[in-house]
Chain A
Amino acid sequence: MSALPNIVDIDTQLATQSPQEILRYALETFDNIAISFSGAEDVVLIDMAAKIRPDLQVFSLDTGRLHAQTYRFIEAVRKHYRIDIDIVMPEASKVEQLVKAKGLFSFYEDDHKECCGVRKIAPLRKQLLTVDAWITGQRRDQSPGTRAAVPVIQDDKAFARPDDSLTKFNPLANWTSKQVWDYIRDNNVPYNELHDQGFVSIGCEPCTRPTGPGQHEREGRWWWEEATKKECGLHAVNIAK
């Protein structure tokens, strides 16, 4: 599958459209496309997509450290929508090496990058080699500092096969958490029971905690670290002369 004609132009067109319209475009443009489902409120993508195309490809990254509630939820979603969900696991030898060298909770001492690299990113990379496009639940409001520029469609150069292209869709980019939850309630979408226990953002059990009123959802993840700063962006800055 080759790159789309002009991602920037398509992004401009799609940016004003609803998540359902963006999903329809994605699912009708690409045959070999998969939804990445984290076991949290990104379930709305499955609900929307199932109404457009029943033969959905969905995968979930099983880091081995998810909450029991999340495993139950993934199973409930599988049954509810009658879909296959590929459970993607890290390479056992890599996890063993990490645990042997640094223990089971290295992320509290270093940071989450090494563990996430082994348990999430390496398996995700392998999975994405098998598709032409993927769909995520990434939203701009999840981390205002770093996600100010989440486009609805991206040419994903980081995960593309060598000498090939991969397209990434973020249909919820412009939705707020409230819009997602309104959709869940209005459409009786099943949701992870952890949300009723104060978890806004849900990731691995050791790296996720409930957040209180007024706290940003990012404060519920890797709270012992400073929010990740990416410094590779290129932005002209207006300097007062």
Chain B
Amino acid sequence: MKITMVKKVFADGSPCKKCGEVEEKMRAAGQLQRIDRVVIADEANDQSEGMLLAAEHNIDRAPFFIVERDGQQTEIYTVYFRFVKEVLDSETSEEEEIAEIMNDNDLDFL
């Protein structure tokens, strides 16, 4: 299995806060060593590797994870807690999961 993490850099060069938070969480949980490659999606450069990967897989959010397994279809994870559960076989708390859902999705219509 090969895992690629794509993180974003804003057009002004500043790092994406959520990407940093996810990376920090993964570091604290010892999950970062499971990532084979970290690739940057530079919003100022649509030819950057991360932006090309985002376009190839129709992804419009960051960070995201590309999971390649021999003989299987490549899987893309844009939701961190799903990636942690389904790929890394680790647990996350319900509070964390709800916080992620609320941060990343516009649910104000509810």
Contact surface of B with A, Cβ cutoff 8 Å: 8, 11, 16-18, 41, 43-46, 51, 54, 58-63, 77-79, 82, 85-86, 94-95, 98-110
A158 and B106 form a contact (CB under 8 A): no
A234 and B86 form a contact (CB under 8 A): no
Name which residue of chain B comes closest to A218, CB basis.
B108
Number of A residues near B (Cβ < 8 Å) is 42
- Known A117-B102, A158-B101, A162-B86; judge A228-B108 contact (CB<8 A): yes
Contact surface of A with B, Cβ cutoff 8 Å: 8, 36, 38, 61, 113, 116-117, 120-122, 124-125, 136-139, 142-143, 146-147, 149-150, 157-160, 162-163, 203, 218, 221-222, 228, 230-237, 239
Shortest Cβ gap from A195 to chain B (Å): 16
Give the number of residue pairs across the A-B interface with Cβ within 8 Å. Answer: 99
Provide the bound-state CA to CA distance between A230 and B46, in Å: 21
Chain B residues in 8 Å Cβ range of A122: 94, 98
A157 and B82 form a contact (CB under 8 A): yes
Provide the bound-state CA to CA distance between A43 and B103, in Å: 27
In this complex, the member of B101, B104, B108 whose beta carbon has the largest number of chain A beta carbons within 10 angstroms is B108
Interface SS majority for chain A: loop
- Further contacts, 18 of them, CB under 8 A, given A230-B106, A234-B62: A8-B58, A38-B110, A120-B110, A121-B107, A124-B110, A125-B101, A142-B109, A143-B106, A146-B106, A157-B78, A157-B82, A158-B100, A158-B104, A232-B16, A232-B104, A233-B60, A233-B61, A237-B44
